[in-house]
Structure 1
Amino acid sequence: MDFAQVEIDDMLSQANKGRVVLTDFLDPAMAALTRERLQKFPEVNYKVDGGYPNAERVRFAFFPNYIFPEDVELNIGFLEISGNFKFQTVTHRDFLGAILATGIKREKIGDLIIIPNGCQVILDRDLVPYLIQEVDKVHRVGVTVREIVREELLLPEAKTREVIAFVKSLRLDSVGASGFGISRSQMVKEIEGQKVRVNWKLQVKPSYEVAPGDVISLRGRGRVEVLEIAGTSKSGRSKVVLKRYL
């Protein structure tokens, strides 16, 4: 049992004893582990939120079943950092760097949404006043930081493409190769090179069998979701419907 699992189990144990417990913002791998551990604690209920639907980094609240979910607050806040970036190209890394330079830990910050004149930040609400005061520059450009509400978020439009493939088997190397548009031998190399995750868990076996709902992540190439296994062709190949996130 690794440290992360022990930490999550400790929080769940506290909730099982009657406390309301909040996690920091978790990346997809930790969120998947958390959902897995929740199955071991049937007396614990939970809420999860990342500020907007399909957020990558999310925060959990654990609480006993006798507490109404609507009475539990996840303490999520929202900021907008804006400036004149016409003559200075800035990236997600630049905005995150400006925030972390104030001494705040990454775990207290959720997703960052790049917008035309700056960036919107999802974070622990308690840190909102501090960042408004402390962040005044991003990559040498002066910025204004203000608190916003959830409804002001300019949500990124997910770019996806549906892929239909006929595969000999539902092995990870076969389905992944079709989804990412690479050869099966290249997919095997990526899997064995520890660059592939299934549902945000490292998977090093090319023979691993995928199922509908699985999300395959390949470092540097994005994600593919298995939407449906839509029957078998006359030649015995499985028809799979995939969603490729571009």
Structure 2
Amino acid sequence: MRGVVARHAPLARALVRAGTSQPTSRARARRISTPSAAPLDVEVILRHAEPEHRDVVKRAVERAERVRDRWTVETIEFLDPGALHSVENAVRAVCGDEVEVRAWGGFASAERRRATIARADSVDEEEIRDTVRVLRVQGNFMFDAATHRDFLGAILGTGIKREKVGDIVVTGERGADVMVSPEMAEFLSTALTSVRTVKVEAREVDASELKVPEPKVEDIFSSESSTRLDALGSAGFRMSRSKFVAHVESGDVKVNWKEVKKGRYDLSAGDVVSCRGKGRLEVVDIQPARKEGRFACNLRRYV
């Protein structure tokens, strides 16, 4: 999804002090090139990383240092956009322009992607793309279509962890295409035998067979009294504020892929709000409205 701007102000300030700049976060498969910079201490990086990202950032930095020192190539498991942004910032801050982070999730608009860490110009695009395989899960869902949650639950039920699985493209009555690592494609082809009560066959297919539908997008323009999550969320998902707050308090809502349980959380342009079962909402722009005390909000909903 485009336009993801995570809040990383403390880390950004640390990066500026080190002579680096913030990365672009819109490219889906790219090379992250940076100017030379004085490396930051790893502990400084971890202190400024989001708490839920610290473990993956620590592992990524360790791998990046190994890549820099030994000229190896390392690939991390699937990351959501927030975690990937933290990893990119951390690797840049520690290794400067000696090491690159290149991300791929199986298709151009994939949300969850694997990050390959390598010395500059040491990995080509074909190798990057080979880090993600397409697993086709087929069954008879004609009379009872399975959801994203159903497929994910069945996959995790085989005993693997969430980071081993990328995006899941549900194909209606036919089943779903699942982005996985090469070793998981082999494992799930035998371990995944049913989704709910429907028997399925799972097999790896060539990436050229993958057909990703265009997301349904709705632009919403709304005048609101505040930029709080409960105000913009209820407007964007078209439900009463009390109903949306119930979703927030039950843990169904995330902002920039981080769970938020307070409706008073303040939103900014570039934030992405997801509500389980309702899709995602991007805050495109917020401007003061002509009427004092109001805000003109441009929201984009992905269903």
Query: TM-score when scaled to structure 2?
Result: 0.65
Question: Structure 1: how far apart are the matches of 2:159 and 2:178?
Answer: 16
Structure 1 residues 156 and 41: alpha-carbon distance in aligned structure 2, compared to 1, 3 A threshold: farther
* Partner-residue secondary structure (3-state), 2:128: coil
188, 191, 200: which one aligns with 1:131 = 188
SS in 2 for 1:73: helix
Q: For the Cα contact (< 8 Å) 2:219–2:299, is it kept in 1? A: yes
Q: Residue 88 of structure 2 contacts residue 101 of structure 2 at CA under 8 Å; is this kept in 1?
A: no
Provide the C-alpha distance between the structure 1 equivalents of 2:154 and 2:235, rounded to a whole number of angstroms.
39
Matches within 5 A, 1:60-71: 60-65=115-120, 67=122, 70=125
Question: 2:223 maps to what in 1?
Answer: 166
For 2:162, the equivalent position in structure 1 comes to 106
Residue 238 (1) aligns with residue 276 (2): no
**What is the correspondence of 1:1-246 to structure 2 with a 5 Å cutoff?**
2=51, 4-17=53-66, 18=68, 19-28=72-81, 30-35=83-88, 37-38=90-91, 40-41=93-94, 43=96, 44-65=99-120, 67=122, 70=125, 73=128, 75-86=131-142, 89-115=145-171, 116-139=173-196, 141-184=198-241, 191=248, 195-204=252-261, 206-229=263-286, 232-235=289-292, 237-246=294-303
TM superposition shift of 1:139:
4.9
Any stretches of 5+ residues in structure 2 without a counterpart? 1-46
Q: Structure 1: how far apart are the matches of 2:82 and 2:103?
A: 14
Contact 1:57–1:110 under 8 Å retained in 2: yes
Distance 1:164 1:242 in 2: 6
Q: Which amino acid aligns with 2:216?
A: K
**C-alpha offsets along residues 135-181 of structure 1, whole Å, 9 cap, x if unaligned?**
45545555444321222112133122111011233333333332233
Bigger fraction of residues in strand:
1
Equivalent residue letter for 1:218: C
Number of residue pairs aligned between Structure 1 and Structure 2 = 246
Separation (CA, whole Å) in 2 of partners of 1:117 and 1:191 = 33
Provide the alpha-carbon RMSD of the alignment: 3.4
Misfit runs of 4+, over 6 Å? none
Q: Distance in 2 between matches of 1:143 and 1:177?
A: 38
Question: What displacement does 1:78 show?
Answer: 1.1
Deviates more, 1:8-17 or 1:126-135: 126-135
Instruction: Please state which structure has a larger fraction of its residues in helix.
Output: 2
- Residue 154 of structure 1 aligns to a residue whose secondary structure is coil
Distance 1:186 1:93 in 2: 22
Secondary structure of the residue aligned to 2:211 is coil
Q: Please tell me whether the aligned partners of residues 224 and 245 of structure 1 are also in contact (alpha carbons under 8 angstroms).
A: yes
Farther off after superposition, 111-120 or 60-69: 60-69
Runs of 5+ in structure 1 lacking a partner?
Answer: none
Sort the Cα spacing of 1:108 and 1:6 in 2 relative to 1 into closer, same or farther, 3 A. closer
